[in-house]
């Protein structure tokens, strides 16, 4: 903009010059806001546990109650993600490939877990699966106790994760050209063979992404779980609840330790899945 700039030699600056205004202001505000709201607070989380020292940190996160809570949060999230992978694939397939009355309504309903506040979902699921609830009573009759057990945790985490798988698959399924399926048919493949050998491999990366997103969300989920979980220490107590309990005991370092482990393991899993995906994408 200034005439001096026009005379300057071509620089190896970290940014390309542009005729548009507002770069400094917009990027400056972005970085300032990002730092205050997200980065500095997260730094506080990562630094806090180390006031216990390494051995203190390890002792903290390997305490039986903490281990049990972490196991439940990650285990139930994994089971929920697997359920969502199977049923999410079916739901996405039906919504993309078939026509039936009320399809748009069903399609809109898939987003409910995104839109419904978690506390509302939590008390609804809890009432539904309580021993005297609409679904809890028949389940009790079958000898299955859902509410206030790990099974209840799985149910809540399945609810929360469904849209991730469906919404990740839908666009991919939509873009999948019919040519490939037609080619398979002209080559003599049955529908099942076509699905297994042609369609499924093409969907696999999106399926893994969707499951990973559902899993990541489920690991940290709190609101929809605590009402139905019963929160018995060592049995149905999830890791996020343990953080709150430790905070109430003013054990900041302990709470931060659990938080750091949750974050770390989540990132590790996402990193592995990303790597897996990159590996698959290489072939395309």
Partner 1 sequence: MTDATMTEFALPRPRAATADHPVARALLTATAMFFIALFLLLPLITVFAQALKNGVSTALAAIVEPDALSAVKMTLIAAGIAVPLNVVFGLAASWAISKFDFRGKSFLITLIDLPFSVSPVISGLVYVLLFGMMGWFGPWLREHDIKIIFAIPGIVLATMFVTFPFVARELIPLMSDQGRDEEEAATSLGASGLQTFRRVTLPNIKWGLLYGVLLCNARAMGEFGAVSVVSGHIRGQTNTMPLHIEVLYNDYQFVAAFAVASLLALLALVTLTVKTFLEWHYADEIAAVHKH
Partner 2 sequence: MSLVVESVAKRFDRFPALKGVSFSAPKGCFLALLGPSGSGKTTLLRILGGLEFAEAGRVKFEDGDWLALPARERRAGFVFQQYALFRHMTVAKNIAFGLEVRGRRHRPPRGEISRRVEELLSLVQLDGLGKRYPSQLSGGQRQRVALARALAIEPRMLLLDEPFGALDAKVRKELRMWLRHIHDKTGITTVFVTHDQEEAMELADLVAILNQGSIEQIGSPAEIRRSPASYFVADFIDSPIRPSAEQVVPFPETRAARH
Alpha carbons 168 and 80: distance in angstroms, whole number: 16
Asked if residue 276 binds partner 2 (CB under 8 A), the reply is no
Q: Which does 177 bind (CB under 5 to 8 A by kind): partner 2, partner 1, none?
A: partner 2
Asked if residue 273 binds partner 2 (CB under 8 A), the reply is no
Select the span of 17-25, 119-127, 142-150, 176-184 touching partner 2 (CB under 8 A).
176-184
Q: In this structure, are residues 242 and 120 in contact, taking their beta carbons and an 8 Å threshold?
A: no
Asked if residue 97 binds partner 2 (CB under 8 A), the reply is no
Among 67, 78, 185, 276, the residue binding partner 2 under the rule CB under 8 A is 185
Q: In this structure, are residues 172 and 42 in contact, taking their beta carbons and an 8 Å threshold?
A: no
Q: Which does 119 bind (CB under 5 to 8 A by kind): partner 1, partner 2, none?
A: partner 1
Q: In this structure, are residues 228 and 139 in contact, taking their beta carbons and an 8 Å threshold?
A: no
**Both tokens assigned to 80:** 């929920």
Alpha carbons 41 and 36: distance in angstroms, whole number: 7
Torsional class of 181: left (φ above 0), alpha (ψ -120 to 50), beta (otherwise): alpha
Interaction mask 135-174, partner 2, x per CB under 8 A = ----------------------------------------
Asked if residue 232 binds partner 1 (CB under 8 A), the reply is no
Alpha carbons 258 and 282: distance in angstroms, whole number: 36
Q: Which spans of this chain sit near partner 2 (rule: CB under 8 A)? A: 177, 179-180, 182-190, 193, 197-198, 201-202, 204, 280, 283-284
């Amino acid at each position: 903009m200034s005439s001096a700039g026009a005379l300057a030699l071509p620089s190896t600056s970290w940014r390309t010059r542009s005729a548009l205004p507002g770069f400094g202001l917009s990027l400056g505000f972005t970085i300032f806001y990002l730092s205050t709201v997200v980065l500095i607070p997260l730094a506080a989380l990562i630094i806090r546990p180390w006031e216990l020292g390494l051995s203190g940190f390890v002792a903290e996160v390997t305490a039986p109650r903490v281990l049990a809570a972490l196991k439940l949060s990650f285990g139930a999230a994994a089971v929920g993600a697997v359920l969502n992978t199977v049923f999410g694939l079916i739901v996405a397939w039906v919504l993309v490939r078939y026509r039936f009355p009320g399809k748009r309504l069903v399609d809109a309903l898939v987003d409910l877990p995104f839109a419904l506040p978690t506390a509302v979902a939590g008390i609804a699921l809890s009432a539904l699966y309580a021993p005297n609830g609409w679904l809890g009573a028949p389940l009790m009759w079958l000898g299955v106790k859902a509410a206030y057990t790990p099974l209840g945790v799985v149910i809540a985490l399945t609810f929360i994760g469904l849209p991730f798988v469906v919404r990740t698959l839908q666009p991919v399924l939509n873009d999948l050209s019919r040519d490939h399926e037609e080619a398979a048919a002209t080559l003599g493949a049955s529908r099942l063979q076509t699905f297994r050998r042609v369609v499924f491999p093409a969907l696999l990366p999106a399926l893994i992404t969707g499951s990973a997103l559902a899993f990541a969300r489920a690991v940290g989920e709190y609101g929809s779980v605590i009402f139905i979980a019963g929160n018995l220490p060592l049995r149905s107590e999830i890791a996020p609840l343990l953080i709150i309990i430790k905070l109430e005991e003013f054990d900041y370092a302990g709470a931060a330790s659990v938080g750091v482990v949750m974050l770390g393991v989540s990132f590790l899993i996402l990193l592995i899945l990303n790597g897996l995906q990159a590996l698959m994408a290489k072939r395309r």
